[in-house]
Amino acid sequence: MKLRNQTQVSGFLLLGLSEDPALQPLIFGLFLSMYLVTISGNLLITLAILSASHLHTPMYFFLANLSLADVGFTSTTVPKMLVNIQTQSQAISYAGCLTQMFFFLIFAGRENFLLTVMSYDRFVAICHPLHYMVIMSPWLCVQLVLVCWTISVLHGLLHSFMVLRLSFCTHLEIHHFFCELNQVVHIACSDTFLNDLMMYLAAILLLGGPLSGILYSYSKIVSSIRAISSTQGKYKAFSTCASHLSAVSLFYGTSLGVYLSASAAPSSASTAALVMYTVVTPMLNPFIYSLRNTDMKKALRRLLFPK
């Protein structure tokens, strides 16, 4: 079979969630609704934090950055899918596919690292409360966010350049609704050993490393909470971590589902894992961080219903 160099590939076909024409309007309406909820919810969280002076603390600074990461995360995939459904087209250009993959990796990585930074913030707040404002200085918070950005961009560039070296044949169908890295690599005709190796190493280092940091932080937090004598004090300390723990469980639970299904053939299970990871998780984060948070609910109330 004659290979076609990647510079000659005009584009790919995104097969989406279903090829049944009768289901397309339902999928369009469902994902449009989820996308609008995600965008409005995360932007409201960000605006509420910016407008409320009592929320100008490290914890809410990281939360605002997480909300913006969620906006970017879901915006890299859903709009293109909605456009394809509306135009009854499955096509995405080669450049568009690489661009989508690059930004998806950036925002996914940024969310991963921000959750780790937020666990460190909770560790300092509970285990070293008297030194919290000294340790979590504004400059350190900015530096931590910049580090999250830098590592995420380098990770996205690495895999994007690795894909550029691949050649593709005539089989250019991607069995998902966006250009997922593993799917793009495995439709290539050239040798993908180096790409697979880098994907496994990145998964170990960039998922396993931050997750280990989160688990370590919470082991110290649990020890500190157990040392608190009063039940009310224990509840108050734990309540400051409850939202973050929920977000971590949701993000890493869906990440694990995507990773475990990555090596298998495309199936309804792998598609469901990707939908949970890319669409549902960013949509639920605003609810997780606002429903149990009294300060956030007050800030949202003042933003939506100013006197």
**Angle of the 193-203 helix axis to the 138-164 helix axis, nearest 10:** 160
Q: What share of the chain is helix, strand, coil (3-state, %, to 5)?
A: 80, 5, 20
How many domains, in total, are found in the chain? 1
Residue 188 per-residue DSSP state: B
- Say if CB 283 and CB 38 are below 8 A apart: yes
Judged against a pLDDT cut of 70, whether residue 129 lies above it is answered with yes
Backbone angles phi, psi at 168, to 5 degrees: -125, 145
CATH code (residue 185): 1.20.1070.10
Q: Report yes or no on 238 lying in a domain.
A: yes
The strand pairing partners of 12, in sequence order, are 92
Q: Which domain holds residue 32?
A: 6-304
Q: How far apart are CA 68 and CA 46, in angstroms?
A: 7
CA angle (173, 179, 185) in 5-degree steps: 70
pLDDT digit string, tens, across residues 184-210: 998 988 889 999 999 989 988 988 899
Q: Report yes or no on 285 lying in a domain.
A: yes
CB neighbours of 209 closer than 8 A, spacing ≥ 6?
none
Please give the radius of gyration of the chain, using alpha carbons only, rounded to the nearest integer.
21
pLDDT digit string, tens, across residues 86-124: 998 889 999 999 999 999 999 999 999 999 999 999 999
pLDDT band for position 230 (50/70/90)? confident
Q: Report yes or no on 168 lying in a domain.
A: yes
Q: Report yes or no on 1 lying in a domain.
A: no
More confident residue, 131 or 297: 131
pTM equals 0.91
